[in-house]
Protein backbone atom coordinates (compact mmCIF):
# COMPACT_ATOMS: atom_id res chain seq x y z
CA UNK A 1 0.00 0.00 0.00
CA UNK A 2 2.82 2.41 0.87
CA UNK A 3 4.42 2.05 -2.56
CA UNK A 4 1.14 2.66 -4.36
CA UNK A 5 0.35 5.72 -2.25
CA UNK A 6 3.75 7.14 -3.07
CA UNK A 7 3.15 6.64 -6.79
CA UNK A 8 -0.26 8.30 -6.60
CA UNK A 9 1.19 11.15 -4.55
CA UNK A 10 3.99 11.61 -7.09
CA UNK A 11 1.66 11.68 -10.08
CA UNK A 12 -1.00 13.92 -8.56
CA UNK A 13 1.73 16.31 -7.44
CA UNK A 14 2.97 16.95 -10.99
CA UNK A 15 3.16 20.67 -11.85
CA UNK A 16 1.69 21.38 -15.26
CA UNK A 17 4.04 24.37 -15.62
CA UNK A 18 6.88 21.84 -16.00
CA UNK A 19 5.31 20.89 -19.33
CA UNK A 20 5.35 24.30 -20.94
CA UNK A 21 7.26 25.20 -24.07
CA UNK A 22 7.24 28.19 -26.40
CA UNK A 23 4.97 27.54 -29.39
CA UNK A 24 4.89 30.47 -31.84
CA UNK A 25 1.62 30.85 -33.73
CA UNK A 26 3.56 30.56 -36.99
CA UNK A 27 4.46 26.95 -36.10
CA UNK A 28 0.79 25.91 -35.83
CA UNK A 29 -0.46 24.38 -39.09
CA UNK A 30 -3.68 26.21 -39.98
CA UNK A 31 -4.40 23.99 -43.00
CA UNK A 32 -3.45 20.45 -44.02
CA UNK A 33 -0.90 19.70 -46.70
CA UNK A 34 -2.11 18.94 -50.23
CA UNK A 35 -1.35 15.23 -49.71
CA UNK A 36 -1.84 13.56 -46.35
CA UNK A 37 1.29 11.39 -46.44
CA UNK A 38 3.62 14.23 -47.50
CA UNK A 39 3.87 15.40 -43.90
CA UNK A 40 7.17 15.13 -42.08
CA UNK A 41 7.76 12.19 -39.77
CA UNK A 42 10.08 12.50 -36.78
CA UNK A 43 11.26 9.06 -35.70
CA UNK A 44 12.50 8.73 -32.11
CA UNK A 45 13.98 5.37 -31.23
CA UNK A 46 15.67 4.86 -27.87
CA UNK A 47 16.87 8.46 -27.74
CA UNK A 48 17.94 8.82 -31.39
CA UNK A 49 16.08 11.17 -33.74
CA UNK A 50 15.66 10.80 -37.49
CA UNK A 51 13.79 13.02 -39.95
CA UNK A 52 11.83 11.49 -42.79
CA UNK A 53 8.42 11.63 -44.51
CA UNK A 54 5.29 9.96 -43.28
CA UNK A 55 4.98 7.81 -46.40
CA UNK A 56 8.16 6.04 -45.25
CA UNK A 57 6.52 4.93 -41.98
CA UNK A 58 6.39 1.17 -42.78
CA UNK A 59 10.16 0.97 -43.03
CA UNK A 60 10.66 2.25 -39.46
CA UNK A 61 8.28 -0.10 -37.66
CA UNK A 62 9.38 -3.29 -35.90
CA UNK A 63 8.63 -6.35 -38.02
CA UNK A 64 5.18 -7.89 -37.56
CA UNK A 65 3.79 -4.81 -35.79
CA UNK A 66 0.12 -4.57 -34.90
CA UNK A 67 -1.13 -1.03 -35.61
CA UNK A 68 -4.23 0.09 -33.71
CA UNK A 69 -6.47 2.69 -35.36
CA UNK A 70 -9.34 4.67 -33.83
CA UNK A 71 -12.13 4.53 -36.42
CA UNK A 72 -14.32 7.22 -34.85
CA UNK A 73 -15.87 9.80 -37.16
CA UNK A 74 -16.26 13.49 -36.36
CA UNK A 75 -19.86 14.68 -36.37
CA UNK A 76 -21.11 18.13 -37.36
CA UNK A 77 -21.63 18.93 -33.73
CA UNK A 78 -21.96 22.75 -33.88
CA UNK A 79 -25.56 23.93 -34.34
CA UNK A 80 -26.43 27.61 -34.69
CA UNK A 81 -29.90 28.96 -33.97
CA UNK A 82 -30.94 32.57 -34.55
CA UNK A 83 -33.48 34.11 -32.17
CA UNK A 84 -36.09 36.60 -33.33
CA UNK A 85 -33.94 39.28 -31.70
CA UNK A 86 -31.11 38.34 -34.06
CA UNK A 87 -28.95 36.80 -31.32
CA UNK A 88 -27.08 33.66 -32.37
CA UNK A 89 -27.08 30.74 -29.93
CA UNK A 90 -24.50 28.02 -30.56
CA UNK A 91 -25.30 24.51 -29.31
CA UNK A 92 -22.30 22.18 -29.32
CA UNK A 93 -23.37 18.53 -28.99
CA UNK A 94 -21.05 16.56 -26.72
CA UNK A 95 -22.62 13.23 -25.68
CA UNK A 96 -26.03 11.60 -26.13
CA UNK A 97 -28.07 11.55 -22.93
CA UNK A 98 -31.44 10.08 -23.89
CA UNK A 99 -30.92 7.58 -25.36
CA UNK A 100 -27.36 7.39 -24.03
CA UNK A 101 -26.04 4.98 -26.67
CA UNK A 102 -24.46 6.77 -29.64
CA UNK A 103 -25.78 4.43 -32.32
CA UNK A 104 -29.31 4.45 -30.93
CA UNK A 105 -29.24 8.24 -30.49
CA UNK A 106 -28.29 8.76 -34.12
CA UNK A 107 -31.10 6.43 -35.20
CA UNK A 108 -33.87 8.29 -33.35
CA UNK A 109 -36.57 9.67 -35.63
CA UNK A 110 -38.48 12.21 -33.52
CA UNK A 111 -36.42 13.51 -30.63
CA UNK A 112 -33.33 12.93 -28.49
CA UNK A 113 -31.52 14.65 -25.62
CA UNK A 114 -27.81 15.55 -25.73
CA UNK A 115 -25.40 17.00 -23.25
CA UNK A 116 -24.18 20.21 -24.86
CA UNK A 117 -22.07 23.30 -24.42
CA UNK A 118 -23.95 26.52 -25.07
CA UNK A 119 -22.43 29.59 -26.67
CA UNK A 120 -24.04 32.98 -25.90
CA UNK A 121 -26.05 31.25 -23.17
CA UNK A 122 -27.00 34.50 -21.42
CA UNK A 123 -29.08 35.46 -24.44
CA UNK A 124 -31.06 32.21 -24.28
CA UNK A 125 -33.96 32.80 -21.90
CA UNK A 126 -35.31 29.26 -22.04
CA UNK A 127 -37.61 29.62 -25.03
CA UNK A 128 -37.68 27.05 -27.84
CA UNK A 129 -35.16 27.67 -30.61
CA UNK A 130 -36.18 26.85 -34.17
CA UNK A 131 -34.17 26.24 -37.32
CA UNK A 132 -35.40 25.22 -40.78
CA UNK A 133 -33.17 22.84 -42.70
CA UNK A 134 -33.59 21.23 -46.10
CA UNK A 135 -32.91 17.55 -46.75
CA UNK A 136 -33.76 15.77 -50.03
CA UNK A 137 -35.96 18.65 -51.20
CA UNK A 138 -37.86 18.56 -47.90
CA UNK A 139 -38.05 21.41 -45.39
CA UNK A 140 -37.71 20.23 -41.79
CA UNK A 141 -38.15 22.30 -38.66
CA UNK A 142 -35.59 21.49 -35.98
CA UNK A 143 -36.39 22.55 -32.43
CA UNK A 144 -33.97 22.86 -29.49
CA UNK A 145 -35.14 23.37 -25.92
CA UNK A 146 -33.57 23.14 -22.49
CA UNK A 147 -34.98 20.13 -20.62
CA UNK A 148 -34.59 21.87 -17.26
CA UNK A 149 -33.69 25.54 -17.74
CA UNK A 150 -33.38 26.18 -14.00
CA UNK A 151 -31.11 23.34 -12.92
CA UNK A 152 -29.38 21.81 -15.93
CA UNK A 153 -29.00 24.05 -18.95
CA UNK A 154 -26.58 21.68 -20.65
CA UNK A 155 -29.19 19.00 -21.45
CA UNK A 156 -30.85 19.93 -24.73
CA UNK A 157 -33.80 18.15 -26.32
CA UNK A 158 -33.81 18.17 -30.10
CA UNK A 159 -37.04 17.40 -31.92
CA UNK A 160 -38.04 17.64 -35.56
CA UNK A 161 -41.29 17.43 -37.44
CA UNK A 162 -40.52 14.66 -39.93
CA UNK A 163 -40.02 11.09 -38.63
CA UNK A 164 -38.70 9.97 -42.02
CA UNK A 165 -35.28 11.36 -41.09
CA UNK A 166 -32.96 10.04 -38.38
CA UNK A 167 -30.99 12.37 -36.12
CA UNK A 168 -27.77 11.43 -37.92
CA UNK A 169 -29.15 13.06 -41.09
CA UNK A 170 -30.58 15.99 -39.16
CA UNK A 171 -27.26 16.92 -37.56
CA UNK A 172 -25.34 16.21 -40.77
CA UNK A 173 -27.42 18.86 -42.55
CA UNK A 174 -28.01 21.29 -39.70
CA UNK A 175 -24.59 21.39 -38.09
CA UNK A 176 -21.03 22.35 -38.91
CA UNK A 177 -17.83 20.39 -38.33
CA UNK A 178 -16.00 21.55 -35.17
CA UNK A 179 -12.35 22.20 -36.01
CA UNK A 180 -9.89 22.98 -33.19
CA UNK A 181 -10.27 26.47 -31.65
CA UNK A 182 -6.55 27.19 -31.95
CA UNK A 183 -6.86 27.29 -35.75
CA UNK A 184 -8.61 30.63 -35.28
CA UNK A 185 -10.77 30.30 -38.38
CA UNK A 186 -14.16 29.07 -39.47
CA UNK A 187 -14.69 25.57 -40.83
CA UNK A 188 -14.12 25.44 -44.60
CA UNK A 189 -15.25 22.99 -47.25
CA UNK A 190 -11.85 21.27 -47.34
CA UNK A 191 -12.13 20.46 -43.62
CA UNK A 192 -15.14 18.24 -44.27
CA UNK A 193 -12.79 15.70 -45.87
CA UNK A 194 -9.41 16.47 -44.39
CA UNK A 195 -10.51 16.61 -40.73
CA UNK A 196 -11.60 12.98 -41.04
CA UNK A 197 -9.31 9.97 -41.25
CA UNK A 198 -9.61 7.81 -44.38
CA UNK A 199 -10.73 4.92 -42.16
CA UNK A 200 -13.33 6.84 -40.09
CA UNK A 201 -16.58 4.88 -39.75
CA UNK A 202 -18.36 5.26 -36.41
CA UNK A 203 -20.00 8.65 -35.80
CA UNK A 204 -19.55 10.23 -32.40
CA UNK A 205 -16.44 12.40 -32.01
CA UNK A 206 -16.32 16.17 -31.76
CA UNK A 207 -12.58 16.16 -32.52
CA UNK A 208 -10.54 14.04 -34.91
CA UNK A 209 -7.95 11.47 -33.78
CA UNK A 210 -5.41 13.60 -35.59
CA UNK A 211 -2.47 11.18 -35.73
CA UNK A 212 -4.56 9.24 -38.23
CA UNK A 213 -4.96 12.19 -40.58
CA UNK A 214 -1.60 11.35 -42.21
CA UNK A 215 -2.65 7.89 -43.40
CA UNK A 216 -3.67 7.20 -46.98
CA UNK A 217 -4.95 4.01 -48.56
CA UNK A 218 -1.54 3.68 -50.20
CA UNK A 219 0.30 3.83 -46.86
CA UNK A 220 -2.09 1.34 -45.28
CA UNK A 221 -1.69 -1.07 -48.19
CA UNK A 222 2.09 -0.69 -47.89
CA UNK A 223 1.89 -1.56 -44.19
CA UNK A 224 0.08 -4.81 -44.94
CA UNK A 225 2.49 -5.69 -47.75
CA UNK A 226 5.35 -5.28 -45.29
CA UNK A 227 3.73 -7.85 -42.99
CA UNK A 228 2.18 -5.54 -40.43
CA UNK A 229 -1.33 -6.13 -39.09
CA UNK A 230 -4.04 -3.49 -38.73
CA UNK A 231 -6.87 -3.43 -36.19
CA UNK A 232 -9.57 -0.93 -35.26
CA UNK A 233 -11.21 0.21 -32.05
CA UNK A 234 -13.54 3.12 -31.34
CA UNK A 235 -13.06 5.94 -28.84
CA UNK A 236 -15.31 8.96 -29.32
CA UNK A 237 -13.13 12.00 -28.74
CA UNK A 238 -14.71 14.63 -26.51
CA UNK A 239 -14.34 18.40 -26.47
CA UNK A 240 -12.28 18.00 -23.31
CA UNK A 241 -9.33 17.08 -25.49
CA UNK A 242 -8.95 20.83 -26.20
CA UNK A 243 -9.40 21.94 -22.61
CA UNK A 244 -6.16 23.23 -21.08
CA UNK A 245 -5.10 22.18 -17.61
CA UNK A 246 -6.01 25.28 -15.62
CA UNK A 247 -4.77 24.07 -12.24
CA UNK A 248 -1.09 24.08 -11.32
CA UNK A 249 -1.23 20.55 -9.88
CA UNK A 250 -2.82 17.87 -12.03
CA UNK A 251 -4.51 16.52 -8.90
CA UNK A 252 -6.98 19.38 -9.35
CA UNK A 253 -7.68 18.65 -13.01
CA UNK A 254 -10.72 16.51 -13.80
CA UNK A 255 -10.35 14.39 -16.91
CA UNK A 256 -13.32 14.27 -19.26
CA UNK A 257 -15.01 10.92 -19.78
CA UNK A 258 -14.88 9.33 -23.23
CA UNK A 259 -16.72 6.32 -24.58
CA UNK A 260 -14.90 3.31 -26.03
CA UNK A 261 -16.14 0.32 -28.02
CA UNK A 262 -14.24 -2.89 -28.76
CA UNK A 263 -15.12 -6.32 -30.12
CA UNK A 264 -14.32 -9.86 -29.05
CA UNK A 265 -12.29 -10.26 -32.24
CA UNK A 266 -10.21 -7.22 -31.34
CA UNK A 267 -9.44 -8.57 -27.86
CA UNK A 268 -8.48 -11.94 -29.32
CA UNK A 269 -6.15 -10.23 -31.77
CA UNK A 270 -4.39 -8.50 -28.86
CA UNK A 271 -4.07 -11.84 -27.06
CA UNK A 272 -2.67 -13.82 -29.97
CA UNK A 273 -0.52 -11.28 -31.81
CA UNK A 274 3.18 -11.98 -31.27
CA UNK A 275 4.64 -8.69 -32.51
CA UNK A 276 4.72 -5.21 -31.04
CA UNK A 277 1.57 -3.13 -30.55
CA UNK A 278 1.76 0.36 -32.03
CA UNK A 279 -0.99 2.81 -31.11
CA UNK A 280 -1.99 5.32 -33.77
CA UNK A 281 -2.74 8.42 -31.74
CA UNK A 282 -3.19 9.24 -28.08
CA UNK A 283 -6.85 8.20 -28.30
CA UNK A 284 -5.76 4.68 -29.21
CA UNK A 285 -3.22 4.76 -26.36
CA UNK A 286 -5.89 5.75 -23.84
CA UNK A 287 -8.25 3.08 -25.14
CA UNK A 288 -5.67 0.26 -25.15
CA UNK A 289 -4.47 1.06 -21.66
CA UNK A 290 -8.08 1.42 -20.45
CA UNK A 291 -8.81 -2.05 -21.85
CA UNK A 292 -6.17 -3.46 -19.51
CA UNK A 293 -7.80 -1.82 -16.47
CA UNK A 294 -11.25 -2.98 -17.57
CA UNK A 295 -9.78 -6.48 -17.68
CA UNK A 296 -8.45 -6.03 -14.14
CA UNK A 297 -11.98 -5.15 -13.03
CA UNK A 298 -13.44 -8.17 -14.84
CA UNK A 299 -10.78 -10.45 -13.28
CA UNK A 300 -11.38 -9.22 -9.72
CA UNK A 301 -15.14 -8.90 -10.04
CA UNK A 302 -16.30 -11.68 -12.39
CA UNK A 303 -19.98 -10.85 -11.73
CA UNK A 304 -19.66 -7.20 -12.76
CA UNK A 305 -22.34 -5.97 -15.15
CA UNK A 306 -21.20 -4.59 -18.50
CA UNK A 307 -22.87 -1.23 -17.85
CA UNK A 308 -20.74 -0.80 -14.72
CA UNK A 309 -17.43 -0.98 -16.55
CA UNK A 310 -15.67 2.35 -16.18
CA UNK A 311 -12.05 3.41 -15.76
CA UNK A 312 -11.71 6.25 -13.27
CA UNK A 313 -9.07 8.96 -13.48
CA UNK A 314 -6.62 7.64 -10.88
CA UNK A 315 -7.42 3.93 -10.98
CA UNK A 316 -4.16 3.03 -12.70
CA UNK A 317 -2.19 4.42 -9.76
CA UNK A 318 -4.21 2.77 -7.00
CA UNK A 319 -4.15 -0.94 -7.90
CA UNK A 320 -1.84 -2.55 -5.39
CA UNK A 321 -2.64 -6.20 -4.68
CA UNK A 322 -0.46 -7.62 -7.43
CA UNK A 323 0.35 -7.00 -11.05
CA UNK A 324 -2.09 -8.80 -13.32
CA UNK A 325 -0.61 -9.94 -16.64
CA UNK A 326 -1.97 -8.45 -19.84
CA UNK A 327 -3.19 -11.83 -21.09
CA UNK A 328 -4.99 -12.55 -17.82
CA UNK A 329 -6.72 -9.17 -18.01
CA UNK A 330 -7.72 -9.66 -21.65
CA UNK A 331 -8.93 -13.21 -21.06
CA UNK A 332 -11.04 -11.94 -18.16
CA UNK A 333 -12.80 -9.65 -20.63
CA UNK A 334 -13.43 -12.59 -22.96
CA UNK A 335 -14.93 -14.52 -20.06
CA UNK A 336 -17.11 -11.52 -19.21
CA UNK A 337 -18.37 -11.34 -22.81
CA UNK A 338 -19.09 -15.08 -22.70
CA UNK A 339 -21.14 -14.67 -19.54
CA UNK A 340 -23.19 -11.90 -21.11
CA UNK A 341 -23.41 -13.74 -24.46
CA UNK A 342 -22.21 -10.76 -26.48
CA UNK A 343 -19.35 -10.03 -28.85
CA UNK A 344 -19.05 -6.33 -28.05
CA UNK A 345 -18.02 -4.26 -25.07
CA UNK A 346 -18.60 -0.58 -24.39
CA UNK A 347 -17.34 1.42 -21.43
CA UNK A 348 -16.29 4.91 -20.42
CA UNK A 349 -12.83 6.00 -19.40
CA UNK A 350 -11.38 8.98 -17.59
CA UNK A 351 -7.86 7.57 -17.51
CA UNK A 352 -5.07 10.10 -17.18
CA UNK A 353 -1.68 8.91 -18.38
CA UNK A 354 1.07 10.98 -16.83
CA UNK A 355 4.76 10.51 -15.93
CA UNK A 356 4.96 7.53 -13.58
CA UNK A 357 2.40 5.50 -15.52
CA UNK A 358 3.47 1.98 -16.55
CA UNK A 359 2.31 1.04 -20.06
CA UNK A 360 0.79 -2.43 -20.21
CA UNK A 361 -0.28 -2.90 -23.84
CA UNK A 362 1.26 -0.08 -25.89
CA UNK A 363 4.81 -0.69 -27.16
CA UNK A 364 5.10 2.33 -29.45
CA UNK A 365 3.00 5.19 -30.72
CA UNK A 366 2.39 7.43 -33.69
CA UNK A 367 1.24 10.91 -32.74
CA UNK A 368 1.27 14.60 -33.64
CA UNK A 369 2.83 17.46 -31.68
CA UNK A 370 0.66 18.59 -28.78
CA UNK A 371 -0.15 21.84 -27.04
CA UNK A 372 1.96 23.07 -24.12
CA UNK A 373 0.64 22.21 -20.65
CA UNK A 374 -1.88 19.68 -21.96
CA UNK A 375 -2.82 16.23 -20.71
CA UNK A 376 -1.72 14.88 -24.10
CA UNK A 377 1.79 16.21 -23.50
CA UNK A 378 1.73 14.50 -20.10
CA UNK A 379 0.93 11.24 -21.88
CA UNK A 380 3.85 11.73 -24.27
CA UNK A 381 6.17 12.44 -21.36
CA UNK A 382 4.95 9.30 -19.61
CA UNK A 383 6.27 7.31 -22.58
CA UNK A 384 9.37 9.35 -23.50
CA UNK A 385 10.50 10.69 -20.15
CA UNK A 386 12.34 14.02 -20.26
CA UNK A 387 13.39 13.35 -23.86
CA UNK A 388 10.14 14.94 -25.03
CA UNK A 389 11.89 18.31 -24.71
CA UNK A 390 14.72 17.27 -27.03
CA UNK A 391 12.16 16.10 -29.58
CA UNK A 392 10.09 19.27 -29.44
CA UNK A 393 13.21 21.49 -29.54
CA UNK A 394 14.40 19.57 -32.61
CA UNK A 395 11.01 19.92 -34.29
CA UNK A 396 10.79 23.66 -33.62
CA UNK A 397 14.32 24.18 -34.96
CA UNK A 398 13.64 22.11 -38.09
CA UNK A 399 10.39 23.65 -39.28
CA UNK A 400 7.99 20.93 -38.24
CA UNK A 401 4.32 21.90 -38.31
CA UNK A 402 2.47 21.59 -35.01
CA UNK A 403 -0.94 20.43 -33.69
CA UNK A 404 -3.91 18.89 -35.51
CA UNK A 405 -2.95 19.59 -39.12
CA UNK A 406 0.75 19.42 -38.36
CA UNK A 407 3.46 16.79 -38.80
CA UNK A 408 3.84 13.39 -37.20
CA UNK A 409 6.05 11.43 -34.82
CA UNK A 410 6.87 7.76 -34.34
CA UNK A 411 8.10 6.92 -30.83
CA UNK A 412 9.78 3.57 -30.17
CA UNK A 413 11.53 2.45 -26.99
CA UNK A 414 11.80 -1.08 -28.40
Q: What is the CATH number of the domain that holds 364?
A: 3.40.1780.10
Domain termination residue (choose one: 175, 206, 224): 175
Predicted TM-score (pTM) of the model is 0.94
Quote the mean pLDDT of the chain.
94
Q: Is the pLDDT at 3 greater than 60, yes or no?
A: no
- Euclidean distance between CA atoms 257 and 238, whole angstroms: 8
At 128-172, the pLDDT tens digits run 999 999 998 999 999 999 998 666 779 999 999 999 999 999 999
User: Number of structural domains, the chain?
Assistant: 2
Residues 158 and 44 placed together within one structural domain of the fold: no
122 vs 143: CA distance, rounded Å: 19
Give the span between the Cα atoms of 50 and 56, in whole angstroms. 12
65 and 113 assigned to the same domain: no
User: Phi/psi at 182 (nearest 5 deg)?
Assistant: -75, -5
Whole-angstrom Cα distance, residue 46 to residue 128?
58
Q: Which of 114, 147, 175 is the last residue of a domain?
A: 175
DSSP state of 138: E
The tens digit of pLDDT for each residue in 332-342 reads 999 999 999 99
Q: Do residue 308 and residue 198 come from a single domain?
A: yes
pLDDT tens column, 286-339: 999 999 999 999 999 999 999 999 999 999 998 665 689 999 999 999 999 999
Are 237 and 355 in a shared domain? yes
Choose one of 146, 175, 204: the last residue of a domain.
175
Does residue 229 contact residue 387 with C-beta atoms inside 8 Å? no
- On whether both 310 and 379 belong to a single domain, the answer is yes
Buried b vs exposed e over 87-113: b needs ≥16 C-beta within 10 Å?
eebbbbbbbbbeeeebeebbebeeebb
Cβ count near 148 (within 10 Å):
11
pLDDT band of 1, cuts 50, 70, 90 = very low
3-state SS track over 258-309? EEEEEEHHHHHHHHHCCCCEEEECHHHHHHHHHHHHHHHHHHHCCCCCHHHC
Number of Cβ within 10 Å of residue 225's Cβ equals 9
pLDDT over threshold 60, residue 4:
no
> Are both 59 and 118 inside the same structural domain?
no
Q: Report d(CA 272, CA 287) in Å as an integer.
A: 18
Q: How confident is the model at residue 410 (pLDDT cuts 50, 70, 90)?
A: very high
What range defines the domain where residue 378 resides? Answer: 2-73+192-412
pLDDT at 241 > cutoff 80: no
* Same-domain pairing of 69 and 81: no
Amino acid sequence: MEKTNKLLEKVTGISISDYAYELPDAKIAKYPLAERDQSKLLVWKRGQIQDTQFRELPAYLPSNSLLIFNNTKVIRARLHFQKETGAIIEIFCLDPHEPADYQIAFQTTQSCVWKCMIGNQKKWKGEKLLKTIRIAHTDIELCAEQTDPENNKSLIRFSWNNPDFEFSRIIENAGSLPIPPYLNRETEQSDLERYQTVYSKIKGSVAAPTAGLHFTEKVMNHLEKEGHELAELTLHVGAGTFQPVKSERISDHEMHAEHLYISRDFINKLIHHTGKTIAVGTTSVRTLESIYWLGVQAFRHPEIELENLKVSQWEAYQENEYELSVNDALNALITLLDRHQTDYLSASTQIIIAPGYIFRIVDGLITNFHQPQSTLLLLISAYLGDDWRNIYDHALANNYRFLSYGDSNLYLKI
